[in-house]
Chain A
Amino acid sequence: MTIFSLYIFDRHCDCIYYQDWHRTRPIRPPSIPNFRPGVHRLPPPLDPLAAQSTVRESIFDRDHAVSNVITTNGARVLSGSTPATNRGYTGLPFDEETKLVYGVVLSMRNMVKKLSGRDETFTSYRTNTYKLHLYETLTGYRFVLLSDPSTDSLRFVLRQIYVGPFVDYVVRNPMVQLDSRTEGIDNDHFRAAVDAHMRGLSMFGT
């Protein structure tokens, strides 16, 4: 029983926030042209020196790995997409992954609506390794949570995040640009509040 990751998408289908907890496979940072600030705390791929100083909040903190690469290469890692910087990352890059998550949510949702009228909403699906929960607001924000397959519905958690931290630290925060299309909504208060909320849940294992 545990929680893997949280994605928030805005009405332009862009991922504006990402946070992970017990992910089994570390995520690969996005390639340079697709890098959007303020979405996640993955080390920026372009500048290895900056990556060194960035504190990555995921438990799969790869900072030490990155710095190892830098030292073995004599601090001359030039391009973020070279295999050297991505050593240890096996999955898809972040931007590809969010596109896939959004794609699957959108098509499932449309399929459900087509199958049985407009009043029915898509809430979750489950595979043998994970469960995806969706909470959608009327204003087009979509909160997606990946959790252990054995958990009950966690939509209420997503709603709590919307009502609590999201409204308090994103909507009411004038420094966060909603609808910006170029930047995410990440800020320290929001990240801390979401983290505390998740860790406070009974299904949040260790």
Chain B
Amino acid sequence: MSSGSKQYKAIGEDVWKRTDKVNAELFTLTYGALVVQLIKDYEDYAQVNKQLEKMGYNIGTRLIEDFLARTGLQRCSTFGETAEVVSKVAFKTFLNITPTISFPAPSTIPPAAPLTTTTTTQQQTSSSAIPLPFPSEFILVFDENPLSEFAELPRDAREGGLWFSNVLCGVIRGSLEMVSGFHFFLSDL
């Protein structure tokens, strides 16, 4: 696993070097403005979350083609490998971050309590009810999140249940669905 993970890290860094970049502040502020506008339009955090996820999904279904074209990776053989690729290659390529992966023990219900205020947690589980081979889910913990660089959620939004970076979950769902995976998002805190 560790040699494979190093290899993915190298691929990710290599592709990142060859990628055209945009100004990070512009990107962050644009995203912030987008979320604020959505909140104004929908006036309901659940709806906003849904819309963000939908946007992300539509991005993801196209972004996966871009990703495959750039990296030329082959199909992952294990779920753990998928997690490595998502974290070390995909997030590195498009956002220059490498979320930490962890695999929760099977059949435990993921904690719903916030880990820390600056951490974004994403979790995917396979939507099937039959017992799955381990690991069947993984958590990506963002040590740094370019989307929320300048964002400090007001108490109202936090209590209202806004998932600020929900677009990322949509992107992951969209892109993995295109290469036939079924995922849904549990929490963004």
Contacts and interface: CB of A to CB of B under 8 A. Distances in A.
B62 interface: yes
Given A178-B61, A179-B61, A137 B68 contact: yes
A117 B68 CA distance: 24
B60 to A, nearest CB: 11
Interface string A132-172: 00000111110000000000000000010011001100011
Interface residues of B, number: 14
A139 B179 contact: yes
Contact of A138 (B61, B62, B70, B75): B75
Contacts of A167: 65-66, 69
A162 B69 contact: yes
Nearest to A11: B178
Contact of A139 (B70, B72, B74, B178): B178
A140 B69 CA distance: 13
A101 to B, nearest CB: 22
Nearest to B66: A167
B180 to A, nearest CB: 8
Between B64, B65, B179, the greatest number of chain A beta carbons within 10 A of the residue's beta carbon is seen for: B65
B102 to A, nearest CB: 26
A119 to B, nearest CB: 9
Contact of B64 (A139, A159, A163): A139
Contact of B66 (A140, A141, A172): A172
Contacts of A141: 65
Contacts of B179: 138-139
Interface in B10-50: none
A179 B178 CA distance: 11
A88 B49 CA distance: 58
B93 to A, nearest CB: 14
Contacts of A140: 178
Contact of A178 (B62, B66, B70, B74): B62
Contacts of A178: 61-62
Contacts of A159: 72
Contacts of B68: 137-139
Interface string B154-189: 000000000000000000000000110000000000
B110 to A, nearest CB: 28
Interface of B: 61-62, 64-66, 68-70, 72-75, 178-179
15 contacts: A137-B65, A138-B68, A138-B74, A138-B179, A139-B68, A139-B178, A139-B179, A162-B69, A163-B70, A166-B65, A166-B69, A167-B66, A167-B69, A171-B65, A172-B62
